[in-house]
Structure 1
Amino acid sequence: MKYTPQNSAPLDAAARKAVKPVICYPIDSLPAYDASVFAPARESMQLIDEVIIPPRDAKVFDVPAGHFFRIVCPEGPQVGDLNLWNAQNLNERFFSGKTRALHGTHVSTGDHLWSSLPYFRPLATVTWDTLDWYGWDEFGGGVHDVIGTRCDPYTNRLLSGDDYHYCCHSNLTRALAADTGMSLDEAEPYVHDVLNVFMCTGFTRDTKQYFMKASPVRKGDYLEMFAQIDLKGGLSACPGGDCGSKHSSEEAICAPLKVEIYKPAEGSLGNWTAPDISAYSRTHGLK
């Protein structure tokens, strides 16, 4: 419930509200996405590895720079929470807030997943999205959001008073710890805000609250990305299943997810090179 106003509207309230919005971060200067650059590589790529993420669990996977990876729905409708790190430096990680500011609340083909400051470069680029037909529904919902943070046991305890140990935050922490040999306490700070793959979300029209609804994802759907640098990924199969009712519980019907990693044929990427860290950082002493 939102607070009701405590102050009367001023005489010029309508005029103040009528001011036209301005896009905060115009992206005209960013290189335009050119699908033809990736087309030869997509046509020639071969599957070299796959990872199955069990329901209400998470796994870590590695993707070399210049490779593609797909997050696949192999069975029933299921959403996933994705973390991405620089495989050689976990301090460089996915920056969902800036990705949202640049590309909007939901991502699809042609959008980049940007890394954290001070590195600030594309970690991955979305190259195919079988759910791109969805667009926006009548409620303002879309698919693959960078709005939500990830379900976590701290918020769950705050709102419900219960402890639930298979939230995506917990799953990702355990998976990263197991992969790196870190303790849970050491791994937890590296777990960050996510790309909610396949999740259908938006903001309510009246109170502007974050909502979720049953995902349109079905068996065989996938979100494909191109790794711009060597990546370590973490993917949690959300305990909310398709997030049509609630998450962080044992009540939802959950299904596995799958990550497929593809290697393109030699030379099929043309003159592609991995992006460097931000020019600002390079000129201000970041090593």
Structure 2
Amino acid sequence: MKLENGETPRPLDADARRTVAPVICYPVDSLAPPDLSAYRAARDGWQKVDEVIVPPRDARSFTVPAGHFFRIVSVEGPQVGDLNLWSLNDINERFFSGKTRALHGTHLSTGDRLWSCLPYLRPMATITQDTLDWYGFDEYGGSVHDVIGTRCDPYTHRLLSGHDYHYCCHSNLTRALAHRLNRPLAAVEPAVHDVLNVFMCTGFTRDTGQYFMKASPVRPGDFLEFFAEIDLLGALSACPGGDCSSEHSSDAAACYPLLVEVYKPKAAPIGWVSPARNGYDGSHGES
């Protein structure tokens, strides 16, 4: 039965159904937590071995050997970045934002890990320091470093505006990967994937459930630091939305560069071993 306004009538037990307690889909108690004290101790005496400047409204690639650290640093003004990660030796293994979200939550910070896609499903990188960890969740439900958004892209821009824009993060990341691998844009575009939105402040509206963004709290000198669990190829886009306080996919926002720094420790963290591929046998029920 439908009401006159087209809505479905509330069942008699509606309130009881709405108050059922939630259950965590993927409890992570069985996962060994990262030994952050060992990671931090490994930073003593480390040496910076590489740095890459990512220009505004553009992207650059970088590599990080397993057992090294890398930082994404705000250097001039409030700027968010879209991060892609691949296995250095096999770009079919890439960052899996959806599974990372399922395991750690909508926004990442110190101690959370970036997991790779199926069938690999192993930690690619561990966040070892976050200078924005003080932000938490604000009154709107917003927080930083999300794995809920995708990445601004020219296809959605075309769909919503009717115009072409070539410096969305998807396009920037595609160019960066194509240049790194010396392959055509069309050949590498399928490998560009959903991102970690570094420094971006996002959430969902309470009333409509829509994805929102607001001005990033990032300041020059803030950084997000990672430990590379496997050999990594990365690409970072300095989003055309700048601090994402108003809009993206345009040339209207003030944009700033981002810095990627790579550090080599004197020795690997005590007890650390680069993770192997997921141990599932791949039979999927077939004998």
Shorter-chain-normalised TM-score: which range?
over 0.9
Matches within 5 A, 1:74-113: 74-113=75-114
Matches within 5 A, 1:1-287: 6-266=7-267, 268-281=268-281
Inter-CA distance 85–146: structure 2 relative to 1 (3 Å threshold): same
In 1, Cα distance between equivalents of 2:165 and 2:29: 44
Work out whether residues 52 and 259 of structure 2, in 8 Å CA contact, stay in contact via their aligned partners in 1. Answer: yes
Q: How many percent of aligned residue pairs carry the same amino acid?
A: 69
Give me the CA root mean square deviation.
1.3
CA deviations over 1:16-62 (Å, ceiling 9, x no partner): 11111000000001112322111221122111100000000000100
Work out whether residues 59 and 172 of structure 1, in 8 Å CA contact, stay in contact via their aligned partners in 2. Answer: yes
Gaps of 5+ in 2: none
In 2, Cα distance between equivalents of 1:52 and 1:129: 20
In 1, Cα distance between equivalents of 2:130 and 2:242: 20
CA deviations over 1:125-173 (Å, ceiling 9, x no partner): 0000000000000100000000000000000011111110000000000
CA deviations over 1:65-85 (Å, ceiling 9, x no partner): 000000000110000000000
Query: Under a length normalisation based on structure 2, what TM-score does the superposition of the two structures give?
Result: 0.95
Q: Which runs of 4+ in 1 moved over 2 A?
A: 281-284
Gaps of 5+ in 1: none
Q: CA deviation at 1:281?
A: 4.1
Letter in 2 for 1:180: L
Inter-CA distance 167–217: structure 2 relative to 1 (3 Å threshold): same
Q: CA deviation at 1:6?
A: 2.2
Letter in 1 for 2:25: C
Query: Under a length normalisation based on structure 1, what TM-score does the superposition of the two structures give?
Result: 0.95
